[in-house]
Structure 1
Amino acid sequence: MSVQAVAHRGDPYHARENTLASFRSAVAAGADAVELDVRRSADGVPVVVHDATLERLWGHRRAVAELTAEEIRELTGGGVPVLDDALAVTSSVRTLIDLPERSAGTALAALAAVRRAGAGGRVYYSGDPVALRAVRTADPDAEISLTWHRTARPRGTLLDELRPRWLNYPFGLVTARTVAEDHGRGLLVAAWTVDSPRVMRRLVALGADSVTTNRIGALRAVLARRDRGVNPG
């Protein structure tokens, strides 16, 4: 069985996270999919940045939602891309759009960018349930990866409403029972964010269908050893 190797915010050990350089590096390193985060600027443009402010990565205590896309470009020297440009760079692989805001508007702006790029067949979505509900309402065929942080199982009503293809767990919640139960319900299992080769090997052995990592090269090496039948040790 093939395990999907997902590059978390690109390849952040080699280039700053959520930048075009990071996405290019991840694709070159063999990522099957690139995960990126989308927020909306003050003028409604979907931009690729995880945090609500520019402080951690760019040194500006300014909220993304209070800045126009042009102001964000100027403050970051073009480092924060708009989603349209990120989709162009990741065109050869799948793209997981994470929507961290409780915002239907951000979800709809992201969907519009995906449609402009003709990328609907290779994009899927995770993030806040409010945003995912907006995705499902606007696009009945959208592929959803429901991020789930709790040990309790998702309610059946939520699964019926969102119709996810994936359940996306912090890696510590993935067990043999989790995988068996989800596979039994026709769901794929994704785990995040895994940087230890030892934990990568454990998740692959458990039957996880996707692993998200900041170290895409390390994950590719683990998967290559498995495919060659090398004892993981």
Structure 2
Amino acid sequence: MGHRGDPYRVRENTLPSVRSARERGADAVEIDVRLTRDGVPVLLHDSSLKRLWNQDRRLAELTHAEVRELTHDGVPTLREALLPVDGRAGDAGRLMIDLPGADAASVRTVIGTVRECGAAERVYYCAGPDTMLAVRAADPAAEIAMTWTTLAPPRPALLAAVRPRWLNYRFGLVSRELADRDHREGLLVSAWTADTRRSMRRLIARGVDSITTNRIDVLSGVLARPAKAPAGSPRSSGVPGGPGVPGGPRVPGKTRGF
């Protein structure tokens, strides 16, 4: 999965960055979505325009028209990311929408936009438990990748309320034991943000189902040259015999699991 698109080549969270990630082999692209002052969902990770656009202005204080003016139309709307532009399909396909700083009202706005664009089947949502509870309340059918930042498993009551399909971990937390535990519970495992070949190969060996990276071309190369499987085990670029990988149960909507 491309992290905010293809940020080492093209400015993150822009339509060209999303397209670049797809052109280099991404099965899905993670984007960050926040709301402008007048309630327009746009692609931006930070709460201000300073880091990416050299404008020391907070997004929540700006209308969409002001954002367009300050960034010369550089910050796309969520709607633009979900719909093809000028007949191009570069922005179609799987998107993981991260919701930094979202409250229940902004979650409802984002989900409403996804529905209006007819994109519910190719979008899933990522953030911590509180935000994912808001997503589940707004859309009982939403696909969820709940970010989890500890080795201790989520409480059963939380899993029952959120009903995530994925648990999303910082890559350094993932062990084979953790991945096996989550798979036994019927959960898929995603990891972020791995940028070296060594860390990518380690995650694959540990059985993750998705890797988020800033270097999608490097990950594509690693997957094209999988490590030799141990003697007696099935060849696989993920969990041997596990979900989302060759030899395991088919995961709807995914072709490779990475």
- Is residue 72 of structure 2 the alignment partner of residue 77 of structure 1? yes
Cross-structure match for 2:175: 175
| The one of 59, 62, 67 aligned to 1:67 | 62
SS of alignment partner, residue 65 of structure 1: helix
Relative contact order higher in (CA < 8 Å, ≥ 6 apart): 1
- Is residue 41 of structure 2 the alignment partner of residue 46 of structure 1? yes
Task: Give the distance between the partners of 2:18 and 2:68, measured in 1 at CA.
Answer: 18
Task: Give the distance between the partners of 2:182 and 2:130, measured in 1 at CA.
Answer: 23
Conserved 8 A contact 1:102-1:130: no
Residue type of the partner of 1:49? Answer: L
Task: Give the distance between the partners of 1:135 and 1:223, measured in 2 at CA.
Answer: 32
Task: Give the distance between the partners of 2:94 and 2:39, measured in 1 at CA.
Answer: 24
Residue type of the partner of 2:209? Answer: D
Measured after TM superposition, the shift of residue 149 of structure 1 is 1.0
Measured after TM superposition, the shift of residue 91 of structure 1 is 4.5
Provide the aligned C-alpha RMSD in A: 1.7
Quick check: 215-224 or 131-140, which moved more?
A: 131-140
Cross-structure match for 1:155: 155
Is the strand fraction higher in 1 or 2? 1
Conserved 8 A contact 1:47-1:81: yes
Unaligned runs of 5+ in 1: 1-5
Cross-structure match for 2:122: 122
Task: Give the distance between the partners of 2:17 and 2:114, measured in 1 at CA.
Answer: 20
Give aligned-pair identity as a percent: 54
Conserved 8 A contact 2:144-2:164: yes
SS of alignment partner, residue 226 of structure 1: coil
| The one of 15, 21, 36 aligned to 1:20 | 15
Conserved 8 A contact 1:167-1:189: yes
TM-score w.r.t. length of structure 1: 0.93
Residue type of the partner of 2:206? Answer: L
Tell me how many residue pairs correspond in the alignment.
226
Conserved 8 A contact 1:9-1:34: yes
Please give the per-residue CA displacement for 1:16-61, whole angstroms capped at 9, x wherever unaligned: 0000110110111111000000001100110100000111111111
Residue type of the partner of 1:187? Answer: L
TM-score w.r.t. length of structure 2: 0.84
Unaligned runs of 5+ in 2: 85-89, 230-234, 238-258
- Is residue 59 of structure 2 the alignment partner of residue 57 of structure 1? no
Q: Look at both structures and tell me which one has the larger radius of gyration over its CA atoms.
A: 2
Conserved 8 A contact 1:104-1:131: yes
Is the alpha carbon distance of 1:228 and 1:205 closer, same or farther for their aligned partners in structure 2, counting shifts above 3 Å? closer
Moved over 6 A (4+): 227-230
Measured after TM superposition, the shift of residue 183 of structure 1 is 0.3
